[in-house]
Structure formats: structure tokens, C-alpha cells
Chain A
Amino acid sequence: MRAHYGKVTAAFAISALALTGCSAGGDSTDAGAEAAACEASEGPVELTFTTWVPGMDQVVELWNEENPDIQVTVQTGPNGNSGTYQNFFNQIQAGNAPDLGQIEYDALPNFRVQDGLENIAECENVAGSADQFVDWTWGQVTFGEEGSVYAIPQDSGPMAMYYRADLFEEAGIEVPTTWEEYAAAAEQIKAEGAYITNFPKTDVNWFAGMVWQNGGQWFANDGESWDVNLTTPESEEVATYWQDLLSEDLVSTLPSFSDEWNASFNEGEQWTWVSAVWGATTLSDGAPDTAGKWAVAPMPQWEADTQNAGNWGGSSTAVLKGSEHPAEAAQFALWLNTDPEALALANELGGLYPAAKSAADLDAFAGGVEFYGGQEIYDVFAEASANVDPNFTWGPTMTQTYTDVSDGFGAAIGGSGTLMDALADGQQKTIDALKAQSIPVNE
């Protein structure tokens, strides 16, 4: 799932984090908590599932028809960071959270340290289902801990490069395969009076996807405390690269997903967009006049002849703390994210690109896509998905980190400071935020 991080919602998320942190913080250090036994409940069970993915209620209807004894009620709310996560924390504190909740990967560690998730590793078939999911997504829900599974992967956002095949060809510019070529192409495109792409200052998780591709790790957890590494050499390389493009005015800086942003794609002012698989429909909806002119290629590489890809977005189905029926909830979550019919419907109605490996076989991802000149673009993304570094870890205060780094990015675009300064600043503020919540952190 993609998300936008408004300052208002972020601020209120943080203030309430502090609130929940007071009560749950004490339990947050026992990272190796034992998985509780997962007994099936007797008699009919009713579960609640909170999500914001469009059409999820229709997917769940399939389940309800086939499982009269385990009925699931879907509740829909705003996007995770727009309020739903905050509600989860409030409800967990009050002891009346829904049984299941939609949680993006970058928010999962936060729920983990606040002790908001049930460990469902002992539930039937859960631990054994690891190889059904793309490796890196499974790492996101286990946090690399033995005997721990905190959620079932739902969707992912492997990244590739959307580009205007027609414009590149007309101008006689080679489609870039490395970042070096990409920068060179940016200058040529500028000479043509357009931009190679837009730098999204508020989508810090996009930037993280770039660092992810470069083998960078922003966070690490050794089971006892957290390392914060926003300023490692890999991260710096990415920041310096984009800073150079920004300084030379080779990329635009429109607010992502805004009307102007859509319009600039629609009018051919943007030649490429390095983005996630879900961006395929964003582009076709936002830039309808450019139908048939786009194509998809793997992300540009830092070194020639490598195949690394980043990831932007994706979410899981988690069993929230306090659920009285974790066994049934886990069973439902597994079905939701592996059953071919459910996956196909979730893709059709909600635009989810499943985290299950079997997704490659779905009809929705077979064949050419008209908007992309009939190219079989999902093959490119399936390959990208396999090339995402499985060890990337999100930190427990991502909302705050995103806000701080995004503020710094905004300043850098305005001419004060650099992207690297923003990361250094975000690094310090993240460490402060972790300390403020009594989450152990290495300096």
C-alpha cells in the first residue's frame, strides 16, 4: 500500500505513540517472547478485520460463504498512517482491538515493540507456509526471530522503471540501465525541455527503496537493542546522487500524487518514474493521454551487470494482541493471502500485488498490458521481486523518521542543506525518539 505522510497525522500519531509507549513500553524489551500455544476455539467464531484496501469486503465474502463457523466482519477506515494505526494502538490499550488488522511492513516493528501483535508461529500451518511467500516479505513478518511469526505477508511493491519508450526513441537517447547512464540521460532530457523524473520529497519510503536497492540497511535489531544507520555509505551514495540531480535542476520536485504531478506525466514532462508495481495503475489513471507509450525496464543499477531491485510499500495481515481466536484468525489470514481466488480478487478490486509466490501464475499478471504498449510488465516486476534484498529491516518509529527526513528533504530542495544533512538529522531525531520511548538503542 502506498501512503502519504501528512505532518498533521504524523504529529498526532507520535503524540499518541508517547501515550501508548507509557503503558506498553515496559514490555517492549523482551524481543524473544515465546509463541503462545495456538488452540482452536470451540463452536462458531466471529472475527473482525480492519483494513482500508478497497474491495476487501468482497474478498472476505468468499471466505464467509465457505466457512460458516468462522465468520469475518470487515471494517474499513482511513489509510494506516491516516488514523487506522493510531486506532489500533488505542484499541489494543483498551483491550478491544479487532482480531486482524492491515499493517504495512514499515509499521510492523512499531507494533512489535509496543507489544501489539500476537505471535501466531504455533498456529496450524503458519510456520510451514514460509516458502509460499517471497523471501523478503517473510523476513518482514518474523523479524528474523526463531519461532516467531507476527503477521502473514499480503502484498509487496517491487520496483522497476517506467519510461516513455516513444520519447526516448524519438530523441535518440538510450534507455538507461545504470544510475550513471540515468544521470547522463537526465541532462539530455533536460535539453529536450523535460525532466527525467520527479524527486518525491515526502515519500521517504521511496527513498528507502532506493537505499534498499543499494544494499543499505537503515535499521538493525540484535534482539536487544536497535542500530540506526541512516547515514551509512550506501545511503550516502544514494543521497549524493539525487542531491546532484536536484542541484543541477535535472529533476522536478512536484508533490507526489497531486494533480500537478499527474498532469506533468500526462503532458509528457516526465520521461521516467522509478516506482513500485502498484504504480502501474497510478500512471494509467493519472496520465490517460499517454496510453501505449510507456514501457517498463528493471531499475537502473549502481554497478553494471547486477540485478538489484528495491521495494516500495506492501502490507501484511496481522493478528492483533488480545484476539480471543488467534488460531482461526491465523487460518483466515493464511487463506486471504494464499488462496488463488482471493488473491485474484484482491488484485482486481484493491490493486494489491500479492506477496505469495504463486501470484506469478494468476491470470491478472499474465499477458500484455495495453497501457504499456502490450508489454508483459508483470514479468519484470516478478523478477524484481526475487531480486529484493531479503534482510532489510524497518525501525519502530518510522512515521517519525519519515516526517523528520521529509522535512529535511524539503529544506534541501528549498536550497538550505542537502539530502545527506536531512538523513543525518533524521538519524539523530530517530535515536532521540527511540530513547524517549524507552526502546533500547545503540549510539
Chain B
Amino acid sequence: MSRSAAMLVMGVFTLYFLTPIWWLLTTSTKTGGEITSTVPLWFTANSFGTFFDNLARLFTYGDGLFGRWLINSAIYAGVGALIGTIVAAMCGYALAKYEFKGREAIFNIVLSGVLVPATALALPLFLIFSQANLTNTMWAVFLPSLVSPFGVYLARIYAAASVPGELLEAARLDGSGEIRTFFTVSTRLMAPALVTIFLFQFVAIWNNFFLPLIMLRDQALFPVTLGLYAWNSQISQIPELRILVIVGALVSIVPLIIAFLALQRFWSSGLGAGGVK
């Protein structure tokens, strides 16, 4: 394929992927009535002011519920991804670097977890959490988020490739305990993989919808996805929510974009490193 043909294909796909986000951006700068009465993919004369009006309404509607949802999402996704990454890294590291009976069996079981969609687990999880009286609490969304079979897989592959056994021997000879070696030596070598796992986990939790839908009753505990969905389902009763849902959707992807841009140089090298070895 010639260079210009390749550029054309890429250009078309870039447009295809960016158009919805562009629509989200332009529509966020309109009032409810203007959505239908103005040009869909362009701004209006008052866009600037309207956008800030919309933002202000978004964060003040329902006693600042939206801000609360953002904080909840940040807790679920931020803390959940952090702890989930540590757990997955320890597990994958152990599977890669220690010889023990049943190692492959455990790895295969964990790996099969990748194949089970989270949606299929939501209902059984609900029944289990009901038994423990933990539904409608933050724990109900937080605890299941710590699990990342894909993270374990990635951590194992990466640890096997990037953490030399000789280095661990040397650390042991120098008198470093296993846990200390893991946190001071191994995690540094595994850093690109850890960033990748963190990002994947962060995005998965941030976008998780079904689990919170099933577990949570109290609006104050909702993550931003579920909150926007609940608003969206009420549009026919409260039309003013339409614009708030659109602006809210725009605001809710900002943290994801920031996380990706900030961690990009780590995670792209991390994904590649596993492949060549």
C-alpha cells in the first residue's frame, strides 16, 4: 500500500474515532434547546459562556451530587487500581520466580479468569455480598475491583523476562529478605508492566457499570458512570438533565485522558517489552 493510501485510511479512522468526542465537546457548549436547533458539530455564538453555565449547573445540581460521583469514581478506580496492581504484581512475580508444586495449575486457573466476563460474575457477587451484609456499601464495588487476572498474566510474563534470577540470588546473598527484594529491586525492573496493569485496571474500574448498578442503592455511593446512567433514564421526566448528562460525560472522560497522557511513555514501552523476548 502506498504511503498516501495508508495516510488516508488512518485519517478516516482518526476522524471516525474522534467525531463522537468532538460532538460531546461542541454539544456541551449548548443549552438544551440549542442541541436540536443548531449545527450539530460546531459551536454557537454563546458557546463559551454556555459551557461554563452548564459546568456550574452540573456541579451544583442535586447538592453537588456529580462532584461526589467523581470523587467516588476516583476512589474506586484510583485506590482499587493501585492495590489491584500490587496484588497482581506479587502474584505474577511469585508465579514467575518461585518453583513450587501446582504452579502451572494456579497460573492456568488465574488465566482462565480472563475469559470470564465481569458481567457474568456480578449477580453471584451480589448474592455473596448480600450474605455478608455488604451490599450498598463502598466495599461492594471496591473489593471485586481488586482482582485482575490479566494483570497477573502480564506481571508473570514481564517478571520472567525482565527480572534476572542472578540478581535475586545476589540480593539473597547480600541478606535481603524476599519481600524487601520484591519491593526494592523487582518492582523497579517491572515498572513498565506495573504502569500498564495500573492503567488497564484504572480504566476497567472507571468504566465499570454493571457491578455498581447491581450493588448500590444510595446515590451518594454511585460512581460517575452509574450516576450519569441514572440521570439519563430520567430525562423524559426532567428534560434539563439532558444537557447535564452530556456535559457530565465530557467531564467524566477527562481523568482518563489525563491518566493516559501522564503514563503513556511507561505503558507503551511496557506492552512492547513483553513481546520481543
Contacts and interface: CB of A to CB of B under 8 A. Distances in A.
Interface string B237-260: 111000000000000000000000
Interface string A41-73: 000000010101110000000000000000000
Interface stretch (B93-101, B106-114, B212-220): B212-220
Given A1-B237, A53-B237, A54-B238, A90 B126 contact: yes
B233 A19 contact: no
Interface in A223-260: 257, 259-260
Interface residues of A, number: 38
Contacts of A78: 213, 229-230, 233-234
A79 interface: yes
Interface stretch (A173-181, A281-289, A371-379, A387-395): A281-289
B230 A351 contact: no
Given A78-B213, A259-B35, A93 B234 contact: no
Contacts of B213: 78, 83, 87
Contacts, number: 73
Given A90-B214, A95-B130, A98-B217, A52 B233 contact: yes
A257 B229 CA distance: 17
A206 to B, nearest CB: 13
A79 B33 contact: no
Contacts of A4: 236
A94 B130 contact: yes
A88 to B, nearest CB: 11
B230 A96 contact: no
B37 to A, nearest CB: 7
Contact of A77 (B37, B130, B230): B230
B224 to A, nearest CB: 14
Interface string B69-81: 0000000000000
A16 interface: yes
Nearest to A86: B214
A386 interface: no
Given A54-B237, A54-B238, A75 B229 contact: no
Given A16-B123, A75-B218, A75-B219, A54 B234 contact: yes
Contact of A263 (B36, B219, B237): B36
Interface size class of B (residues with CB under 8 A): 20 to 34
B127 interface: yes
Contact of B214 (A79, A87, A266): A87
Nearest to B33: A288
A29 interface: no
A262 to B, nearest CB: 6
Contact of A96 (B37, B130, B235, B236): B130
A282 B126 CA distance: 36
Given A1-B237, A83-B213, A93 B127 contact: yes
A52 B234 contact: yes
A2 interface: yes
B28 interface: no
Nearest to B229: A78
Contacts of B35: 259
Contacts of B127: 90, 93-94
Given A16-B123, A75-B218, A94-B130, A260 B36 contact: yes
Interface string B193-230: 00000000000000000000110011100000000011
B135 interface: yes
Interface string A92-115: 011110100000000000000000
Nearest to A87: B214
A331 interface: no
A31 B72 CA distance: 44
Contacts of A93: 127
A210 B126 CA distance: 40
A1 B236 CA distance: 9
A415 B37 CA distance: 31
A266 B236 CA distance: 16
B128 to A, nearest CB: 9
A263 B37 CA distance: 8
Nearest to B130: A94
A98 B217 CA distance: 10
Contacts of A2: 236-237
Contacts of A94: 126-127, 130-131, 135
B130 A50 contact: no
Contacts of A75: 217-219
Given A52-B233, A54-B234, A78-B233, A286 B217 contact: no
A144 interface: no
Contact of A82 (B130, B133, B217, B229): B229
B217 A50 contact: yes
A4 B237 CA distance: 12
B26 to A, nearest CB: 14
A282 B236 contact: yes
A75 B219 CA distance: 7
A80 to B, nearest CB: 9
A93 B135 CA distance: 13
Contacts of A132: none
Interface in A281-340: 282, 285-286, 288
A77 B217 contact: yes
Nearest to B119: A12
A98 B216 CA distance: 12
A25 interface: no
B262 to A, nearest CB: 33
Nearest to B217: A75
Nearest to A48: B217
B234 A79 contact: yes
Query: 5 shortest A-B CB distances, which residue pairs?
Result: A94-B130, A79-B233, A78-B233, A82-B233, A75-B217
9 contacts: A2-B236, A19-B123, A76-B219, A79-B233, A87-B217, A90-B214, A257-B235, A262-B36, A286-B239
Given A87-B213, A94-B135, A266-B36, 15 more contacts: A54-B234, A75-B218, A75-B219, A77-B230, A78-B229, A83-B213, A94-B127, A96-B133, A257-B236, A259-B36, A263-B37, A282-B239, A286-B239, A350-B237, A351-B237
